[in-house]
Amino acid sequence: MIHTLVLVAALAQPSLSPLEQAQGFRLLSGPDATSQWRGYKKPSFPAKGWEIKDGVLKVAAGSGAGDIITVDQYGDFELVLEYKTAPKANSGIMYRVTEKHGATYQTGPEFQVLDDAGHGISPTSPHAAGALYDMVPPLEGKVTQSDGWNQARIYVRNGVIQHWLNGMKVVDITAFDDHGAPTADWKAKIAAGKFKDTEGFGVQPRGHIALQEHGDEVSFRNIKIRDLNAATPGEKRLFNGKDLTGWTAFVPDAAKQGIAPESVWSVEDGVLVCKGNPVGYIRTTDKHKNFILRVQWRFNPVTKKAGNSGVLVRMVGEDKVWPKSVEAQLMSGSAGDFWNIDGFVMTTDPARTNGRNTKKTHGAERPVGEWNEYEIVVNKGDVILYVNGEELNRATGVEEVPGFICLQSEGAEIQFRDIRLTPLE
């Protein structure tokens, strides 16, 4: 993933790294870009006004070419790109756009693209660069390049919308609940804005990505997108949504309580529910060495009781509490921490390390009871922890051995879903 500001010279042949390919990214500004975009309500890429050259997608000033949209549609997605505006230029990136009305902005929320300085606009205006246009202003402290490239990132997942500008998260709002219905906050923002009378604005579950032609010259490059619900190359689903096929349970106190170890876990409506007691874990029956693991979790959404658990990777040796492994922490408020269990060889930032624990760089969890997502990259000597799309921790020099993946039962009910693994062999 690209989560920090990287402003480099445009590449003649933009490409995806092997890791980005494994994560499911697609390049939308490569040599075949004209086949991946089309004019709004048009069958093909505009014949004039828009051009793609050396990986840069540019719209000419005064062209009247109209907006372009992706051929494909997206629900939950991650979009990363760089943009550059001519002086005083205005544009936007719309998402979940349908072709219901006459313009892309009538259905799709907008990441504002603007030369703030040229317009003399406050950087925290709801119409400033990075804003969720006319709805959520960007946070203070953002940095923009009036005469250079800016990096934009849009992350939409599990009802949450985030805008990032030059490595800083500037917008974060929960727009939809777990059933896909607009939240009260989202509905209020729509009702208070210029789109209040536009049928279908901001409530579409999926749609096209749009780049706006607003009469000014604007350039886009290194456009990368991934569908967060789509399978990645070679992906394996570790949880089938029905039972514990592919997993084995280790609960040392189960026999004392006269229960089967597996009984600590149950499946309800496709969700894996762990009671939390007795303590123990389930582990995969297969070993995995280099991979990307995605797993969503939440604590009980009714009781909203905080708790503890963890994801163990490269687990080796005997089954015990707790086995030799690298733990990606799941304790409420600490997701993104590392725990080194039983002397696993690894190196972490000494400034954040105390004994076996390495603290996360910052918090990225949603409120207790809401779904969160881990993306854990285990790649040779590196282990990287992303929580809800944000890198929170990184270890290097990690012992490269095949091992099991474990989910802990550690004293509180926790729920899991959408457990997916992409091999990196």
Could you count the other beta carbons within 10 Å of the beta carbon of residue 174? 15
Q: Which domains does the chain have, with CATH numbers?
A: 18-227 (2.60.120.560), 236-423 (2.60.120.560)
Per-residue exposure over 330-344, b if at least 16 CB sit within 10 Å of its own CB, e if not: bbbebbbbbbbbeeb
Q: Residue 398 corresponds to which amino acid?
A: V
- 27 forms beta bridges with 224
Integer Cα distance of 361 and 13 in angstroms: 34
Q: How many residues does the chain have?
A: 425
CA-based nearest residue to 251, from 238, 263, 239: 263
Q: What sign results for the dihedral spanned by CA atoms 104, 109, 114, 116?
A: positive
Integer Cα distance of 313 and 200 in angstroms: 44
Predicted pLDDT of residue 8? 43
Predicted pLDDT of residue 10? 42
**pTM for the full predicted model:** 0.95
Predicted pLDDT of residue 148? 95
Q: By the 8 A CB rule, do 349 and 336 touch?
A: no
Q: Are strands 271-274 and 265-268 parallel, antiparallel or unpaired?
A: antiparallel
CA-based nearest residue to 364, from 394, 399, 337, 396: 337
Predicted pLDDT of residue 218? 98
* 312 HSE (CA, 13 A, CB side): 29
Integer Cα distance of 154 and 158 in angstroms: 13
Q: By the 8 A CB rule, do 372 and 335 touch?
A: yes
- The phi and psi torsions of 18 (rounded to 5 degrees) equal -55, -40
User: Two tokens at 342?
Assistant: 């039983």
Residue 221 CB partners (closer than 8 Å, separation 6+)? 10, 14, 29, 55, 56, 57, 81, 82, 83, 149
Integer Cα distance of 422 and 235 in angstroms: 4
Three-state DSSP state, 4: coil
Q: Residue 315 corresponds to which amino acid?
A: M
Predicted pLDDT of residue 14? 85
Per-residue exposure over 122-136, b if at least 16 CB sit within 10 Å of its own CB, e if not: ebbbbbbbbbbbbbb
* 64 HSE (CA, 13 A, CB side): 0
Kind plus residue range of the DSSP H or E element containing 154: strand 150-157
Low-confidence stretches of the chain (pLDDT < 50) are 1-11
End-to-end Cα spacing for the chain: 19
Given the structure tokens 């402290």, which residue do they identify? Answer: 141
Residue 369 CB partners (closer than 8 Å, separation 6+)? 298, 299, 300, 301, 302, 304
DSSP string, 81-146: EEEEE-TT-EEEEEEEE-SSSSSGGGTS-EEEEE-HHHHT--TTSTTSTTSBTTTBPPPTT----T
Q: Are strands 414-423 and 291-299 parallel, antiparallel or unpaired?
A: antiparallel
Integer Cα distance of 313 and 283 in angstroms: 10
The beta-strand segments (E) located in 212-366 are: 218-227, 236-237, 247-250, 265-268, 271-274, 280-284, 291-299, 310-316, 324-329, 338-341, 353-354, 357-358
Kind plus residue range of the DSSP H or E element containing 334: none
